Structure 1
Amino acid sequence: MITRRNFIINTSLAATAVLASPSFAFTMKKKEIGLQLYTLREELPKDVKVVLEKVAKAGFTTVETYGYSIKDQFWGLTPKELKKILDDNGLKAVSGHYNLGSYLYDGNTTELIAAIEAAKVLKSEFLTVPWVDEPFRKNIDDYKKIAFRINEAAKLCKEAGLKLAYHNHDFEFQKHDGVTGYEILLKETDKDLVYFELDLYWVIYSGNDPLRLFAENPGRFKMWHVKDADKTNQKLNTEVGSGTIDFKPFFKEAKQSGMVHFFVEQENNYASNSIESIKTSCDFIAKNLI
């Protein structure tokens, strides 16, 4: 009988197992654990260097940025300055949440172009749309307009060597004449240009099943937000592994999802403090999910 230890040592057997089992292939390749830096939004602007050092020490190897603006850039740092701090700590900003200004609503590309330039300096893979303001998502036509703008932005991203992704909350799953906004976005965007960052917490909070989305739209969910729900109040977050969401079934279907990056996110309800919380989540994922 081959023990686990001998199995790992025997590289030829390991290679065979990778080819035979998609879920095991994912585990072998997936060594990175990412953090959405919005989790640390209270601490980060005060001292980016110190906070990113703590992120690396907590076990993370990738991050997703947020908060870029033409005026303040990244908390007062240029993309080049931020890139150096990331490099010094062995971190890669593989994705970023960028507020595109009014682009999604009126087509003004000023902030979109600035975001693309910033993402290029950081050597990111994805530029991610994080949010749609409430007045611009009231009906089917609104979502079709958003989908059109996203398609156009994705073309600009591709020309710059980037991929464009869309991050959901729960409002996209509200129905408009029997169809959800998310269904419109999936249908109306170019599957070869536009990808999705699935926030698992918000999908479940809205009453939907990520596994069903994976099955119906294989390969489109290139990134996830891994965010747990508090056991006593589902509106609040908690450390991954401490709440109500069982993430194991999702990670087993990572290949079907198309997932290449995932990010821990916790917006509130930290057990002790945010740094301790992200370490707790990172440790749980490393031991139980990948």
Structure 2
Amino acid sequence: MDFSYQLYSARNEASLDETLKTLAGLGYKQVEGWGGQFADPAALAQSLKNAGLTMPTAHMGYAQLEDTDAALKIVDTVGIQTVYCPAPPSEAYRNGTGNWSEFAQGLAKIAAAFKAAGKGFGYHNHHWEFTKDANGKTPMELILDASPDTQWEMDLAWVVKANEDPQAWLSKLGSRITAVHVKDIAPAGEKTDEDGWADVGHGTLDWKTLIADVKAKTQAKYFVLEHDKPLDAIRFARNSMTTLKGFGV
């Protein structure tokens, strides 16, 4: 299995080119891009080629995706196959006042355009998407119900942060999950300078079991390593890859 690396984890590194080459040296074959990297898609494509990496998936913010034609041009230039919207478009959704149904319909329109272009499109969760509305529906369900073409990049650690059972969601909506974020949660009170996240295998999640379950219950093709706030992005990349290689997956 080829694990990918979410480049947002390395956003504070001085050189993207050097970061890509280092990741390749650690055994990564793929990376996942994020919206801030697409100012010069052709240069990004060349950097990936120079490092011997591909970018099959990427994150683009909702505002960027609303100009769908421009987003698809970036996708074609870089060689991206599937784009995931990484979060809701404003603070309103995070404090409980956003209109999730309206947002879900907007995502559905983008998904239709991507499908027509032969590309995949989906949504990446945090914890905000699991608070039930008056009808007992979560925003995550509203998003997926709005269109069969909207895929789910499941961030398992954020599901846990939402006090939800990821196994239950894997069983319930596994057919919609086409990628997962592989990240770990530090024991309570530890790694506070890294917002409580940990290198994969150095936290509290049983990733060996979770990866086996994801493979058995979902359509996931991409396993993307991510750390939201690493003090050392390369340390995270190295330690996490060592862990995963040790699993034999």
Write the distance in 1 (CA, Å) between the matches of 2:178 and 2:19: 27
Q: Where in structure 1 are there 5+ consecutive unaligned residues?
A: 1-30, 104-108
SS at match of 1:244: coil
SS at match of 1:213: helix
Matched, 1:125 2:81: yes
Deviations 1:151-202 (A, max 9, x none): 110111112221001000001112222332112223x2322x1100000110
How far the C-alpha of 1:60 sits from its partner, in A, is: 1.0
Equivalent position of 2:225 in the other structure: 264
Equivalent residues in 2 for 1:1-290, closer than 5 Å:
31-43=1-13, 46-68=14-36, 74=38, 78-101=40-63, 109-110=66-67, 112-132=68-88, 133-136=90-93, 142-177=99-134, 178-186=136-144, 188-191=145-148, 193-233=149-189, 235-253=195-213, 254-270=215-231, 273-288=232-247, 290=249
2:93–2:128: 8 Å Cα contact kept in structure 1? Answer: no
1:37–1:64: 8 Å Cα contact kept in structure 2? Answer: yes
SS at match of 2:228: coil
How far the C-alpha of 1:268 sits from its partner, in A, is: 2.1
Residue 248 of structure 1 aligns with an amino acid whose one-letter code is K
**TM-score using structure 2 length:** 0.90
Distance 1:140 1:220, change over 3 A: farther
SS at match of 2:160: helix
Distance 1:206 1:224, change over 3 A: same
Write the distance in 1 (CA, Å) between the matches of 2:63 and 2:2: 31
How far the C-alpha of 1:204 sits from its partner, in A, is: 0.7
How far the C-alpha of 1:138 sits from its partner, in A, is: 6.4
How far the C-alpha of 1:225 sits from its partner, in A, is: 0.5
Number of residues paired by the alignment?
Answer: 242
Distance 1:56 1:102, change over 3 A: closer
Write the distance in 2 (CA, Å) between the matches of 1:42 and 1:141: 30
1:116–1:127: 8 Å Cα contact kept in structure 2? Answer: no
Q: Where in structure 2 are there 5+ consecutive unaligned residues?
A: none
Deviations 1:27-52 (A, max 9, x none): xxxx2010000000101xx3221111
**TM-score using structure 1 length:** 0.78
How far the C-alpha of 1:223 sits from its partner, in A, is: 0.4
SS at match of 1:250: helix
Residue 56 of structure 1 aligns with an amino acid whose one-letter code is A
Write the distance in 2 (CA, Å) between the matches of 1:80 and 1:153: 23
Q: How big is the alpha-carbon RMSD for the aligned residues of Structure 1 and Structure 2?
A: 2.0
Larger mean Cα displacement after TM superposition, 196-205 or 213-222 = 213-222
SS at match of 2:176: coil
Write the distance in 1 (CA, Å) between the matches of 2:115 and 2:125: 21
Write the distance in 2 (CA, Å) between the matches of 1:137 and 1:102: 19
* Larger Rg over CA atoms: 1
